[in-house]
Amino acid sequence: MVKVGYIGLGIMGSAIARNLMKAGHQLVVHNRSRAIVEQLVSEGAAAAFSPREVAQQVEFVFTNLPDSPDVEQVALGPDGIIEGAHEGLIFIDNSTIKPEAARKIAAELGKAGVAALDAPVSGGDVGARNGTLTIMVGGAQDAFDRAAPLFAAMGRAWVLVGESGAGQIAKVCNQIIVGAQMAGLAEALITAQKAGVDPQRVVEAIKGGAAQMWALDVKPPRLFAGERGPGFKAYMQHKDLGIVLDTGKTYGIPLPLTAVVQQLYTAMLQNGQGEQDNSAIIGVYEMLAGMKLDEHKPDAT
């Protein structure tokens, strides 16, 4: 067991941190909001008051932060991880950020002798709590091998995709599909109900066929029960799709479907629904169709 730092203790980060502790690792935590730090300290973690202080004490330091500038500030800024660098330290970023930012951070930390892995995750709050995340990793093989026992505490699958930035490219691809799934699911449920057919029965009819997907298994029961809280917040899905489109510009990739899906999330944000789950994009379809999805227990029929 090793000493691990975790910085960024939101819905995903706090759940991952708890699973690392459950696996027997010693945890040092830091977060801008201190309430979650105090909770984790009561569960056995140690508190730190800066990224530098975390890095100085641990063998591995994780970050899970909202966007590229946040990770750059925590990793490379004043009182950042780079100021606590020491021999053997491995930096692992679970955030979803621009691939170019991941490469820049890895290069700068490398100058200080720190190996860096960009390791965004997929699986939502359920996967984070249950330790069943999928982890997409970019970086060096030896750092990946050293980190594997930690990934085992967090997820059920972890893959070294390539060099620095490759994990974030994989996450770009993941978010293209996730965004399309959420919009497609919303369209399907609204289509069923608007056409006079019970959408719950439609889900039961199609989820074992070619339409089967994680979103179809997980999201409808929450929507039918009227639960639209996160989960994975819609404003973060919108941010991730922005990264997808920026990556498309960088590499000259046409992404017409993603552009449309991001506009639907833009409408969500403008409607004040950014804090809701990404599946709550169905609210945009409800507005367009002039109807609300019926709320009832998933097993009511």
Catalytic residues: 171
The three-state secondary structure class of 276 is: coil
8 Å CB contact between 105 and 115: no
Provide φ and ψ at 27, rounded to 5°: -115, 135
Biggest CA–CA distance in the chain, Å, is: 65
Q: Which two tokens stand for residue 249?
A: 């510009």
Contact at 8 Å (CB) between 264 and 283?
no
d(CA 137, CA 217): 26
Question: What angle (nearest 5°) sits at the alpha carbon of residue 12, between those of residues 10 and 15?
Answer: 100
CA 38/CA 62 separation, integer angstroms: 18
Helix H segments across the chain?
Answer: 11-22, 34-42, 51-57, 68-76, 99-111, 124-130, 141-154, 166-194, 199-206, 214-224, 234-251, 256-270, 282-289
- First-to-last C-alpha distance (Å) of the chain: 49
Give residue 212's identity as a one-letter amino acid code: Q
